[in-house]
């Protein structure tokens, strides 16, 4: 999964995914895991960073809106 960059109100906001190992890897026969889609990694949230007045600010968020 790649970093997502969004431009809002003249600021560039970057979302970098936090990848974790899938612990719910029990797919039904013939189907992929519902959490990780068979990759054994899932996105547990995002590091959101942006610059404001030359200072870089970051948060951990659950999803991108």
pLDDT bracket for residue 46 (50, 70, 90) = very high
**pTM for the predicted model, two decimal places:** 0.72
Domain ranges in the chain are: 4-61
Whether 9 has a pLDDT exceeding 90, the answer reads no
Tell me which of 48 and 24 has the higher pLDDT. Answer: 48
Structure confidence at residue 23 (pLDDT) = 82
Going from the C-alpha of 62 to that of each of 13, 14, 50, 54, the distances in angstroms are 15, 14, 16, 25
Give the pLDDT band of residue 18 (cuts 50, 70, 90): very high
Q: What is the pLDDT of residue 2?
A: 85
Mean pLDDT in residue range 36-56: 87
Q: Are 16 and 6 in contact (CB under 8 A)?
A: no
């Amino acid at each position: 999964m790649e970093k997502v960059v969004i431009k809002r109100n003249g600021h560039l906001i970057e979302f970098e995914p936090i990848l974790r190992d899938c612990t719910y890897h029990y797919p039904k026969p013939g189907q992929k895991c519902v959490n990780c889609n068979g990759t054994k990694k899932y996105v547990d949230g995002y590091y959101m960073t942006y610059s404001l007045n030359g200072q870089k600010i970051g948060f951990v968020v659950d999803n991108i809106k």
